[in-house]
Amino acid sequence: MRAAWLAGGACLLLWAGLAREFASPVAAPREEQARGDTALELALVDWAASRSQRALEHALDALVAAGRGRARLVALGRGREGRALLGVEVGPEGAPGVVVLPAPTHTDLGALDAALALAQLWLAEPSAARVVFVAGIRPDLHAPALPALGFDVARNFPVDWDLAQHAGGGPYPLAAPETRALAQWLHGEPLLHSALVLGAESQPADALWMGDPAADGELDALLATPALAGLLRASADDSGPQFGGLARHARLRAGLAVAAVPADAPHAALAAALRMLAASGPELTFESVTAPRAVGPGLFQFDVVLHSSGRLGTGNAAHQRARLGRGITVALQGGRLTFAAARRGAEREFTVVPVALGPDGAPRVSAADLAAGATLELRLVVRAERGAELALTAHTPRAPLARCTTARLR
């Protein structure tokens, strides 16, 4: 009897060990996920209660941990007294994407709360787009809209800055360390194509505003998104600084398409607006390529049509008018570019385009940005050997790299 009991106990222990062995690889990630979600909830509760810089940084760390490899802490610069200005980046590193900017004018920190809630929701999104959530630029989390600096940081951006008309905008543009740091960061992030501004100044409670709405039907195309039906109403009013210096600076100086929504909008509306922007980024595709033909000893000519196939153009129209766009670069592998000409849309004649050496020493062609749906036709002459295979790439900072391979030269 004793032997049977011992044998039975040994079997139970063996089964328990096997169960742990086989269950642990599955159960561990679930337990880790549950712990991360709980830690994030507690961190957000702590932030809501204390409103301290320490609690904010703890909430950002918890967001990164809950992202399980999809989220990273981003250093935007430093404000007064060396205080770090931080954000959280979700999605593939180095990909084109969207920035979420809480407007700094809200005294109740509602815009920052909305940004944190939206970041928490976005962790579960399957979207492959990169989104950077800025954790506010308020010099003092507990200060009113006019902090100890003596002016409103939201009015301290260069776009539309005018001391006489906008009292409280500071002695000069970017006088606040916070606005200066954010402006420098925006200019140093060429991959960002859109901005979602939460709680922009004087924003109507049910409106969505897209920067430069008159340009190429951009606003109409974006608002046709079914997810936004009944949630937000379009506003094409672009007169004056009523959308805040931050939104207008992002639109013009950084060239971003800007959607401004109220911070107290339902989370579903905020998520829908972000989802729309993330899916509407610029995209370039090679629409057609003619067969290369010999035009001289070792010289071949062919035409290629480049199409701006995204729902946003490769650059903001207002940005282009101010001659601030970064443009499109077309490069060639397998041969050497010697001549290029271009025409757009309904243009009848080609215009000669300079061929310049890129950073890698290879010749390339640069062209101005394309609006959504626009095309660029290039006539290229290349020097190459017969039998070579030519490959073209088209690059603009805010769109994935476009590639195209021509037929083998004969």
Same domain as 382, residue 332: yes
Tens digits of residue pLDDT in 216-247:
344 444 444 444 433 333 333 333 334 467 77
What is the average pLDDT score of the chain? Answer: 76
Q: What is the pLDDT of residue 338?
A: 93
Mean pLDDT of the region 200-222 = 40
Helical segments of 279-330, H only: 317-321
Q: What is the pLDDT of residue 241?
A: 36
Same domain as 182, residue 75: yes
Return the closest-CA partner of residue 220 out of 283, 311, 318, 282.
311
Q: Is 100 helix (H, G, I), strand (E, B) or coil?
A: strand
Q: Residue 311 belongs to what domain range? A: 284-405
Mean pLDDT of the region 288-293 = 88
With a cut of 60, say whether residue 75 has pLDDT above it.
yes
Q: Note whether residue 382 is domain-resident.
A: yes
Same domain as 170, residue 291: no
Which of residues 254 and 368 earns the better pLDDT score?
368
The number of folded domains in the chain is 2
With a cut of 80, say whether residue 215 has pLDDT above it.
no
What is d(CA 49, CA 123) in angstroms, rounded to the nearest whole number? 23
Mean pLDDT of the region 269-277 = 86
Same domain as 343, residue 206: no
CATH number at residue 141: 3.40.630.10
Domain boundary among the residues 251, 278, 305 is at 278
Q: Let me know: does 300 contact 292? Beta carbons within 8 Å.
A: yes
Q: Let me know: does 314 contact 360? Beta carbons within 8 Å.
A: no
Q: Note whether residue 41 is domain-resident.
A: no
Q: Let me know: does 368 contact 323? Beta carbons within 8 Å.
A: no
Quick one: pLDDT band at residue 392, thresholds 50, 70, 90?
Answer: very high
Same domain as 123, residue 75: yes
Same domain as 396, residue 292: yes
CA 21 to chain centre: 43
What is d(CA 400, CA 59) in angstroms, rounded to the nearest whole number? 32
**For the CA atoms of 176, 134, 129, 221, what is the dihedral angle to 10 degrees?**
-70
Q: Let me know: does 55 contact 46? Beta carbons within 8 Å.
A: yes
Dig out the tokens for 121 from the structure.
Answer: 């929701």
Q: Is 54 helix (H, G, I), strand (E, B) or coil?
A: helix
Quick one: pLDDT band at residue 14, thresholds 50, 70, 90?
Answer: very low
